């Protein structure tokens, strides 16, 4: 029996149907000119489609994400001295770098609110006097040594010890600190303090590096300029110029950082002798970012289309603080109120800061701190200012442009009392820094106040001279700035116990109701209740008019547009702009989208 038959397709020789190479080469000659153009166009379309369609599919199913790599250079006018969280106080270069190298228990997160840094959790006792912190797991210093509770205790005890001369000492007086285990530390306060967690943003120092350093050598130790911390960036190298000055400090991303390695691999701080040198270097593309001291500088930066200028609100304000002990005219409340009404703050803000700031009507900067607007206000009104002075008998003499007032002076000598009349001129001396911005503000105040009939003189001082004048309280009207925090404690600025140095009550303000509100507020842990007390406090202060509150300048940060994801929420101080540097990026890559289930 025959087996199954197989079916076979007829053989097909495809080559006999394909044109030869010669036929291909002669094909264009068979076409008309118009047909040749059409064929070429179709071929171009085919090639583009061949390339574009796969690329379009790739782009459709992928997204751009940050990639590790890249570097940027930050320009700073000045020199680092001590990159040490216990010593960095007035030097911007020290504070900027320390913010990247060191980490605290807490840090400022989005919108200026507190967030955990090296701490994993914290518990506050019912009486508000005990704070127990637990550290995150697997924390290590830049040299690989584990971070423990011993490092926290060492840092706080060093800050408290007056022999080390730390500016942080005032924040930790009266606080006991103890270790529970390697991951747990307990702070015990003698009095409740609502802003205690703000103090816990202090950078923690490695005990194994610093414990053998004596107080006398603390600010001279080499590690002040080659620091080891546990923050997102670690120190790599320091370069000096031919004169021995620090020219640059280079930081590298820390791969073992608890929150993940930062995207930008290298950050270099380059130091200059003046701000003009910083601007010149930026315009020559030798640095990528810097913070200008004045809004006027922004216009000098080129090219504008490649520049991003971030305007950040910070709880800092400038004001004129009236020292009633040094001026008979300013001891009259009517004069202080009149000067408030006579000041056109908007004109000053627009003229001096190019509008890059906000008008301030309160010692607590409503709008940044969460405290409501005050009910006591001194909106610009020249006629009200004149009426205040005239009601208080400050009048113009027969000759002259400055008002005067006849004041009775009573003197007692033994059993004899005499009363005489003394003519007091309405004059004010404004003391301020020789910083150009403040000099311009003082000149604007002089122009506005003289229209009211006030004789105004201006004294400008160097930083060292101004610090001494503040220490001695040797001024009549001080044009100066104060820095709060997003969760403020204005105790040192307005409590009567702070009238003398080192207190910062620059107006020498003394009001028992204000003192009570300040004392109660700092012990009130409930946020809403504390804000209510501060709302009352600001109205109490404003009613007495011990100062003239002017404006809060924006903090300006200029940087190249190639640096992405710089999100600068409200910050308390400029170095906090680096709090989320780990999320900044320069390089990118494409990755496939995650499928949705």
The average confidence (pLDDT) of the chain is 90
The pLDDT confidence band at residue 271, using thresholds 50, 70 and 90, is: very high
Q: Which of 111-120, 292-301, 492-501 has the highest mean pLDDT?
A: 492-501
pLDDT in tens, 198-214: 999 999 999 999 999 99
CATH of 316-553, one of 3.10.105.10, 3.40.50.2300, 3.40.710.10, 3.20.20.70: 3.10.105.10
* Residue 328 neighbours by CB distance under 10 Å: 18
State if pTM tops 0.95.
no
For residue 595, what pLDDT band results from cuts at 50, 70 and 90? low
The pLDDT of 150-174, averaged and rounded, is: 94
238 vs 271: CA distance, rounded Å: 11
Supply the pLDDT for residue 19: 64
- Model confidence at 12: pLDDT above 60: no
Question: Which pLDDT does position 303 carry in this prediction?
Answer: 65
Strands 404-413 and 416-425, by their bridges, are antiparallel
Question: 556-591 pLDDT, tens per residue?
Answer: 999 998 999 988 777 888 888 898 899 999 999 888
2 confidence band (pLDDT: 50, 70, 90) = low
For the ranges 13-17, 183-187, 253-257, 560-564, which has the lowest average pLDDT? 13-17
Cα distance between residue 14 and residue 11, in whole Å: 10
Question: 538 versus 412: which is more confidently predicted?
Answer: 538
- Is the model's pLDDT at 306 over the cut of 70? no
Query: What is the C-alpha to C-alpha distance for residues 297 and 280, in angstroms, rounded to an integer?
Result: 11
Q: Given a cut of 70, is residue 23 above it in pLDDT?
A: no
Task: Evaluate whether 299 touches 355 at the Cβ level (below 8 Å).
Answer: no
CA 478 to CA 550: how far, in whole Å? 12
**Which CATH superfamily groups domain 71-312+560-588?**
Periplasmic binding protein-like II (3.40.190.10)
Task: Please tell me the distance from the alpha carbon of residue 276 to that of residue 284, in angstroms, as a whole number.
Answer: 12
Q: What is the pLDDT of residue 15?
A: 61
Residue 216's pLDDT is: 94
Read off the tokens for 3: 């087996």
User: What sign does the dihedral 330-333-338-343 (CA atoms) show?
Assistant: positive
pLDDT computed for residue 22 by the predictor = 65
Other CB atoms within 10 A of residue 27 CB: 12
- Per-residue model confidence (pLDDT) at position 33: 74
Predicted pLDDT of residue 28: 66
Per-residue pLDDT tens for 499-548?
Answer: 998 899 999 999 999 999 999 999 999 989 999 999 999 999 999 999 99
- Helix 436-450 vs helix 345-353: crossing angle, to nearest 10: 150
**For 483-489, what is the mean pLDDT?**
87
CB neighbours of residue 529 within 10 Å: 12
Whether the per-residue pLDDT at 50 is higher than 80: the answer is: no
pLDDT at residue 29 in the model: 67
pLDDT at 418: 77
Which is higher by pLDDT, 11 or 155?
155
pLDDT for res 596: 58
In b/e form, how buried is each residue of 418-442, taking b as 16+ CB within 10 angstroms?
eeeeeebebbbbbbbbebebbbbbb
Confidence check: pLDDT of 152 > 70: yes
Task: Give CA–CA dist 505/391, Å, rounded.
Answer: 30
User: 289-290 and 547-553 as β-strands: parallel, antiparallel, unpaired?
Assistant: unpaired
Per-residue pLDDT tens digits for 118-151: 999 999 999 999 999 999 999 999 999 999 999 9
Q: Which of 71-85, 92-106, 117-131, 415-429 has the lowest mean pLDDT?
A: 415-429
| Token pair in block for residue 271 | 């130091």
Domain locations in the chain as residue ranges:
29-60, 71-312+560-588, 316-553
Grouping H, G, I as helix, E, B as strand and the rest as coil, residue 527 is helix
- Angle CA(410)–CA(416)–CA(422) in degrees, nearest 5? 25
pLDDT-derived band at 264 (thresholds 50, 70, 90) equals very high
Q: Residue 356: pLDDT above 60?
A: yes
Q: pLDDT tens-digit profile of 117-127?
A: 999 999 999 99
Residues 161-165, mean pLDDT to the nearest whole number: 94
- Say how far apart CA 293 and CA 276 lie, in whole Å: 11
Task: Return the higher-pLDDT residue of 224 and 17.
Answer: 224
185 pairs with which residues across the strands?
133, 179
């Amino acid at each position: 029996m025959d087996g199954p038959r197989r079916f076979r397709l007829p053989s097909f020789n495809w080559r006999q149907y394909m044109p030869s190479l010669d036929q291909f080469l002669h094909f264009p000659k068979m076409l008309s000119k118009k047909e040749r153009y059409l064929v070429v166009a179709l071929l171009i379309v085919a090639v583009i489609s061949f390339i574009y369609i796969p690329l379009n599919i790739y782009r459709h199913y992928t997204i751009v994400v940050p990639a590790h790599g890249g570097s940027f250079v930050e320009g700073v006018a000045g020199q680092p001295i001590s990159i040490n969280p216990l010593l960095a106080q007035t030097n911007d270069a020290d504070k900027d770098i320390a913010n990247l190298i060191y980490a605290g228990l807490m840090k400022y997160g989005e919108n200026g609110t507190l967030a955990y840094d090296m701490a994993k959790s914290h518990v506050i006792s019912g009486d508000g006097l005990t704070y127990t912190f637990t550290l995150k797991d697997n924390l290590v210093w830049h040299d690989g040594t584990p971070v423990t509770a011993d490092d926290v205790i060492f840092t706080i005890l060093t800050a408290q010890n007056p022999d080390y001369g730390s500016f942080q000492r005032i924040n930790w007086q009266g606080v006991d600190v103890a270790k529970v285990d390697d991951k747990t530390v307990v702070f015990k306060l003698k009095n409740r303090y609502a802003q205690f967690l703000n103090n816990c943003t202090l950078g923690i120092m490695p005990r194994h590096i610093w414990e053998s350093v004596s107080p006398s050598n603390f600010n001279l130790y080499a590690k002040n300029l080659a620091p080891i911390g546990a923050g997102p960036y670690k120190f790599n190298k320091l370069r000096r110029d031919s004169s021995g000055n620090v020219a640059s400090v280079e930081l590298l991303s820390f791969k073992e950082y608890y929150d993940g390695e930062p995207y930008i691999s290298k950050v270099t701080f380059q130091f200059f002798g003046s701000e003009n040198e910083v601007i010149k270097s930026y315009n020559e593309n030798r640095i990528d970012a810097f913070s200008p001291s004045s809004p006027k500088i922004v216009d000098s930066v080129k090219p504008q289309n490649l520049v991003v200028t971030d305007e950040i609100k910070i709880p800092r304000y400038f004001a004129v603080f009236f020292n009633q002990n040094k001026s008979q005219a300013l001891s009259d409340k009517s004069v202080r109120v009149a000067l408030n009404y006579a000041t056109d703050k908007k004109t000053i803000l627009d003229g001096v800061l190019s509008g890059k700031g906000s008008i301030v009507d309160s010692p607590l900067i409503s709008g940044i701190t969460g405290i409501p607007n005050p009910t006591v206000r001194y909106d610009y009104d020249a006629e009200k200012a004149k009426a205040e002075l005239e009601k208080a008998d400050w009048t113009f003499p027969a000759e002259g442009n400055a008002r005067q007032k006849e004041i009775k002076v009573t003197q007692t000598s033994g059993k004899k009392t005499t009363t005489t009349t003394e003519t007091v001129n309405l004059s004010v001396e404004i003391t301020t820094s020789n910083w150009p911005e403040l000099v311009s503000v003082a000149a604007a105040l002089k122009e506005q106040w003289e229209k009211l009939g006030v004789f105004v003189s201006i004294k400008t001082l160097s930083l060292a001279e101004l610090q001494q004048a503040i220490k001695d309280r040797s001024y009549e009207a001080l044009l100066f700035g104060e820095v709060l925090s997003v969760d403020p404690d204005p105790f040192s600025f307005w409590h009567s116990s702070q009238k003398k140095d080192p207190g910062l009550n620059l107006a020498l303000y003394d009001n028992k109701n204000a003192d009570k509100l300040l004392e109660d507020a700092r012990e009130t842990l409930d946020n809403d209740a504390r804000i209510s007390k501060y709302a009352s406090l600001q109205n109490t202060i404003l009613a007495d008019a011990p100062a003239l509150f002017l404006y809060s300048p924006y903090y300006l940060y200029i940087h190249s547009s190639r640096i992405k994801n710089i999100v600068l929420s409200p910050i308390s101080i400029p170095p906090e702009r680096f709090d989320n540097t780990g999320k900044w990026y320069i390089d990118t890559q494409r990755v496939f989208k995650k499928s949705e289930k």
